């Protein structure tokens, strides 16, 4: 599928077939305590329980299994979750993996990526152009470039989360809900949006981002791409300067207004997920739950579905989340 400029529901279903028996079918969890706090039923799609601790394995496996038989190896760039997903998928496929990671990525993500057998190349995300560096390295070594979100096979793989949400929610008697999605470049959001359009058209996808990194929310609000300065943030997994070129048209067409939460709200959601669902979330993987819990006035309906998209968090950050008190401040849009 390399070279395609769009993604279809057929691509997502094909990715689901390739993922069958390889990716985990993650549960849709709930807690009466979280329901009470949110003022509605909250269903949490626990992708933190996916292989390598995030949904990223889905897109990685989808992309790597779509490569030709002559593929020598792959190169990816990532702050950590895509890195681990690609490294693990490559190891399972017997392919070489080179991963470019920012120097300020969480230590656990760098260590895990190396432990999965990948070569890690560190770069300065504020001073170096990762796309240019990655492209040059891929050409030099003859590797297939697998970007973290702007790739049709990656988007198709992430869309399988949406297929599962539609099926699992329907089995619970829910066919209409807003689906809140932790959003960086938009691969997961775009994939889920396409899947829901086909299998659960009364569910409305909405992106959720941290304050100061809300390029997608700002873009959706004005109808054109907004690019923000690239810098580090607590929610490292979803820090991107702009929506992707492939993902943006899908987000603009199918998603409702974006939601924005504070770092404090993300940390509080991490603590509540641990306390009430026994889940370990990283800050970027907790922003959708934070929006559901702390932004009730910006959400409609009797039920809301959220992605808990990743759980690869450094111990110090997790301790900070557990030590922080509850917060109930309103969210922006």
Do 83 and 46 reside in the same domain of the chain?
A: no
Gap between the Cα atoms of 57 and 102, Å rounded: 19
**Domain end among 145, 166, 198:** 145
| Structural domain count of the chain | 2
In a domain, 163, yes or no: yes
Do 47 and 81 reside in the same domain of the chain?
A: no
Pairing verdict, β 73-77 and 144-145 = parallel
Instruction: Give the pLDDT band of residue 328 (cuts 50, 70, 90).
Output: low
Catalytic residue positions, numbered: 56, 309
Mention every residue, 6+ apart, whose C-beta is less than 8 A from residue 144: 67, 71, 72, 73, 74, 75, 138
Mean pLDDT of 16-22: 98
Taking each helix axis from N to C terminus, what angle separates 56-64 and 152-171, rounded to the nearest 10 degrees?
A: 130
Neighbour order of strands in the sheet with 119-123: 119-123, 96-102, 73-77, 144-145
Please report the sign of the dihedral spanned by the C-alpha atoms of residue 46, residue 312, residue 254, residue 198: negative
The 10s digit of each residue's pLDDT in 44-101 is 999 999 999 999 999 999 999 999 888 889 999 887 899 999 999 999 999 999 999 8
C-alpha distances out from residue 285 to 105, 127, 263, Å: 15, 26, 12
In a domain, 332, yes or no: no
C-alpha distances out from residue 266 to 61, 134, 321, Å: 28, 31, 8
Do 103 and 229 reside in the same domain of the chain?
A: no
Do 173 and 248 reside in the same domain of the chain?
A: yes
**Domain end among 108, 124, 145:** 145
Mention every residue, 6+ apart, whose C-beta is less than 8 A from residue 253: none
Pairing verdict, β 28-29 and 41-46 = antiparallel
Q: Which domain holds residue 66?
A: 56-145
Tell me if 270 sits within 8 A of 321, measured CB to CB.
yes
Mean pLDDT of 275-287: 98
Please check the confidence at residue 126 and state whether its pLDDT lies above 90: no
pLDDT at residue 1 in the model:
40
Please check the confidence at residue 3 and state whether its pLDDT lies above 50: no
In a domain, 69, yes or no: yes
Please check the confidence at residue 260 and state whether its pLDDT lies above 70: yes
Do 160 and 134 reside in the same domain of the chain?
A: no
pLDDT at residue 252 in the model:
98
Do 187 and 219 reside in the same domain of the chain?
A: yes
Do 200 and 311 reside in the same domain of the chain?
A: yes
* Average per-residue pLDDT for the chain: 93
Nearest to 167 by CA among 31, 25, 34: 25
The 10s digit of each residue's pLDDT in 215-240 is 999 999 999 999 999 888 999 899 99
**Domain end among 94, 119, 145:** 145
Phi, psi for 29 (deg, rounded to 5)? -100, 160
CATH of residue 81: 3.40.50.1100
In a domain, 331, yes or no: no
In a domain, 263, yes or no: yes
Do 191 and 253 reside in the same domain of the chain?
A: yes
Do 210 and 305 reside in the same domain of the chain?
A: yes
In a domain, 2, yes or no: no
For 140, the 3-state DSSP assignment is helix
Do 257 and 243 reside in the same domain of the chain?
A: yes
Do 65 and 17 reside in the same domain of the chain?
A: no
Give the pTM: 0.94
In a domain, 249, yes or no: yes
Gap between the Cα atoms of 166 and 188, Å rounded: 15
Gap between the Cα atoms of 37 and 193, Å rounded: 27
Per DSSP, 41 falls in state E
Neighbour order of strands in the sheet with 177-182: 28-29, 41-46, 303-308, 177-182, 203-210, 259-261
Please report the beta strands in 172-263, taking only residues with DSSP state E, as ranges in sequence order: 177-182, 203-210, 259-261
In a domain, 187, yes or no: yes
Instruction: Give the pLDDT band of residue 305 (cuts 50, 70, 90).
Output: very high
Please report the beta strands in the chain, taking only residues with DSSP state E, as ranges in sequence order: 28-29, 41-46, 73-77, 96-102, 119-123, 144-145, 177-182, 203-210, 259-261, 303-308
Tell me if 85 sits within 8 A of 161, measured CB to CB.
no
Phi, psi for 48 (deg, rounded to 5)? -65, -15
CB neighbour burial string for 97-130, b if at least 16 within 10 angstroms, e if fewer: bbbbbbebbbebbbebbeebebebeebebeeeeb
Do 169 and 48 reside in the same domain of the chain?
A: yes
């Amino acid at each position: 599928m390399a070279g395609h400029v769009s993604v279809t529901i057929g691509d997502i279903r094909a990715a689901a077939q390739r993922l069958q028996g390889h990716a985990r079918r993650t549960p849709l969890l709930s807690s009466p305590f979280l329901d009470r706090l949110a003022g509605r039923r909250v269903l949490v799609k626990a992708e933190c329980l996916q292989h390598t601790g995030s949904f990223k394995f889905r897109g990685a496996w989808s992309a790597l299994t779509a490569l030709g038989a002559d593929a020598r190896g792959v190169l990816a760039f990532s702050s950590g979750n895509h890195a681990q997903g690609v490294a693990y998928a490559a190891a399972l496929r017997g392919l070489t993996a080179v991963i470019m990671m920012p120097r300020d990525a969480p230590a656990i993500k760098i260590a895990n990526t190396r432990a999965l057998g990948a070569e890690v190349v560190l770069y300065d995300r504020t001073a170096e152009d990762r796309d240019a560096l990655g492209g040059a390295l891929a050409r030099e070594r003859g590797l297939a470039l697998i970007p973290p979100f702007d790739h049709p096979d990656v988007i198709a793989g992430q869309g399988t989360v949406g297929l599962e949400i539609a099926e699992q929610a329907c089995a619970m008697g829910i066919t209409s809900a807003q689906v809140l999605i932790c959003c960086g470049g938009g691969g997961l959001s775009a994939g889920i949006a396409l899947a829901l359009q086909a299998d659960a058209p009364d569910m409305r996808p909405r992106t959720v981002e941290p304050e100061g990194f809300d390029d997608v929310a700002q873009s959706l609000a004005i109808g054109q791409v907004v690019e923000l300065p690239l810098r580090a943030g607590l929610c490292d997994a979803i820090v991107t300067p702009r929506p992707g070129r492939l993902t943006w048209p899908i987000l603009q067409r199918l998603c409702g207004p974006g939601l924005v939460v504070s770092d404090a709200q993300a940390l509080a959601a991490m603590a509540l997920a641990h306390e009430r669902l026994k889940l370990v979330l990283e800050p970027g993987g907790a922003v959708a739950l934070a929006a559901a819990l702390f932004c009730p006035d910006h959400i409609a309906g009797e039920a809301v579905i959220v992605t808990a998209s990743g759980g690869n968090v450094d111990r110090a950050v997790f301790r900070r989340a557990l030590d922080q008190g509850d917060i109930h401040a309103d969210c922006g849009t």
